[in-house]
Structures are given as structure tokens and as C-alpha cells.
Amino acid sequence: MTIRSDDPPIDERRIGQLLEAARTAAAHAYVPYSRFPVGAALLTADGTVITGCNVENASYGLTVCAERVAIWTAAAAGHRAVRAIAVVAPKALGATPCGACRQVLNEFAPRDSDLLVVVEGADGPEPVVLSALLPRSFGPTDLERAEG
């Protein structure tokens, strides 16, 4: 699947690399309460791969998802566009990002294309675009239109 015609394609090999990085990240999850590890690996616009894992807290509301850890780590490193993200939940294959993570992903999705989300399914990678997971989304371009 090609995200943008001027970028290298996100092919099966790259998807496999992202899923493997997400599996590794899931192994580092801090999940003493739910025992439900999740790992994420995102591909930034410049080709950098950044991972995250879920981190729980005894004050449950302060728990943060793997996808948001990866996004915030990327943002802290100066990345502002994400081309793809792979998500692995070993105890629930096929699990997709929660609604809050979908909205955060939308903030950093490319403006001229869609963000590829790949989850690890029982039969292999399950790719879907973010717009299918978050239809009619609200994001940065809506605010820009409101200002103009």
C-alpha cells in the first residue's frame, strides 16, 4: 500500500518490521493491574520508527495507551507527521486503537494522504486506514478553516 506517491511504499516487508517493533514494545509494557500488554510502532514521515507501550498507574485514569506513548515520544523528538502505525495486543489479536488514540493519531496524520493503521490479527497483518476507524474526524485543518 502506498501512502503518498512521493514516499517509498509501505510494503509487506516494512509492515513486518513495524509489527516486530510493536511486539518488542509490548514486551516492555508496564501492566501490573490489567495484565494486558500493548505495543505500538509508528513510522514517521522521514522514515524513523518510534515505539511505545502501555503504562498503567494505580490511579487507573492516569494509565496511558501504547499508541499515545509512541505519538508523544515522536512529537517530543520533533516529528510532526506519521505515515503508519502498527499495534500489537498479544492477548487480543486484531484489537484496534481506542477512540482517544484514534483522535491523537489524527492530529499527526499526513495532510495529503491517510495514515495506515496495521493491527496484528490471528491470520497476519490487518491493514486499515485511519479515516475508516475515525470517519468524519475533527482535526487541525478544521481549526485552520475556522480561522480563515
**Ordered per-residue pLDDT tens for the chain, 148 residues:** 333 334 566 899 999 999 999 999 999 999 999 999 999 999 999 999 999 999 999 999 999 999 999 999 999 999 999 999 999 999 999 999 999 999 999 999 998 889 999 999 999 999 999 999 999 999 988 888 887 6
Q: Is 120 a catalytic residue?
A: no
Cα 144 to Cα 146: distance, rounded to the nearest angstrom: 5
Q: Where along the chain do its domains lie? A: 12-147
Q: Cell for 120?
A: 496484528
Instruction: Catalytic residue, from 67, 126, 144, 147: name it.
Output: 67
Pairing of strands 49-53, 39-44: antiparallel
Burial of 130 per CB tally in 10 Å (0-12, 13-18, 19+): buried
Topology of 12-147 in CATH? Cytidine Deaminase; domain 2 (3.40.140)
Q: Cell for 139?
A: 482535526
